[in-house]
Amino acid sequence: MNCIRALFLGFIGAVGFTTSALADSVIVSGFVTSVGSNLGTSIDGTSPNFADRDFYTITLTYNSAQAPRITTQGVTDTNNAADYYLLETNITIFADDGALTWTYATPAANSLSHSFGVQNNVFGNDKFSAGLSGVTFSGPTLGPGFQNFSHWSLNFTDYEGTISSDTSIPNFSDLTAYNFKDIYLQFGIYTEDRIELFASSVSVIPESSAFAMLAGTVGLAAVLVIRRRRY
């Protein structure tokens, strides 16, 4: 019961930011693949424990009515890169006995460093990327050193350049089309301070659908946690 309550609270935190009808979201979900040895397995020296295979969600909330920043990348192409300004980044890991949530917000949605990017045929590559560094996310510290979460990165690259035909947000129905997929959360300066993630799905949804989808995600996470405890 404590586990389900923690998952519900994590869900409420994930959807609490949706205050504008124009706030659409890109939601990345999957599971933890590794936890750096410097981080231990506890939060602030106490529960909840977290480990490989824990389920996670990353919610990137943006204003769909705001035009992205269009630029030119590469040598011969023009207007082939777009940056979508973010209102909020919310990252939740559903640990065995509690949900861990980190949040960073820029309500004005005007920070280039807090954005996600789409590249179409830049040196032959299509790319979807996100991340943020040099800030402190609100949320728990990790490990014996009580390290703050200050940096994260997501990079999906298609080396054949077949996914995107323009700078609009891609259709993520087939993640295997990306040759390179890398996501990590950084809590210090060393690789031992890093949590690495695997993406199993990415969805682009309007705010009206975000609540229903995240509710389903939390339900799935609860089932996975309960099933893992039984076996």
Residue pLDDT, tens place only, 175-196: 999 999 999 999 888 988 999 9
pLDDT of residue 91: 97
Nearest by Cα to 2 from 91, 94, 90? 94
Where does the pLDDT of residue 43 fall: very low under 50, low under 70, confident under 90, or very high at 90 and above? low
Whether the upstream peptide bond of residue 48 has omega within 30° of 0, thus cis, is: yes
pLDDT of residue 170: 94
Q: Structure tokens of 154?
A: 């997501």
Domain boundaries defined on the chain:
2-230
Of 6-20, 25-39, 95-109, 122-136, the poorest mean pLDDT is in 6-20
Question: What proportion of the chain, given as a percentage, has pLDDT over 70?
Answer: 74
CB 86 within 8 A of CB 109: yes
Question: What proportion of the chain, given as a percentage, has pLDDT over 90?
Answer: 54
Q: Provide the CB-side half-sphere exposure for 129 (13 A, CA).
A: 18
Provide the 8-state DSSP code for 30.
Answer: E
Flag whether pLDDT at 214 surpasses 60.
Answer: no
CB 65 within 8 A of CB 230: no
pLDDT of residue 188: 87
Q: Which residue has the tokens 């935190």?
A: 13
Question: 105-109 long-range CB contacts below 8 Å, 24 or more apart?
Answer: 105/17, 109/62, 109/63, 109/66, 109/85
Radius of gyration (C-alpha) of the chain in whole angstroms? 18
The DSSP bridge partners found for residue 108 are none
CB 156 within 8 A of CB 169: no
Flag whether pLDDT at 11 surpasses 50.
Answer: no
pLDDT of residue 96: 74
46 or 27: which leads in pLDDT = 27
Can you tell me the mean pLDDT for 110-120?
A: 95
Flag whether pLDDT at 17 surpasses 50.
Answer: no
Can you tell me the mean pLDDT for 139-160?
A: 89
pLDDT of residue 37: 83
pLDDT of residue 14: 46
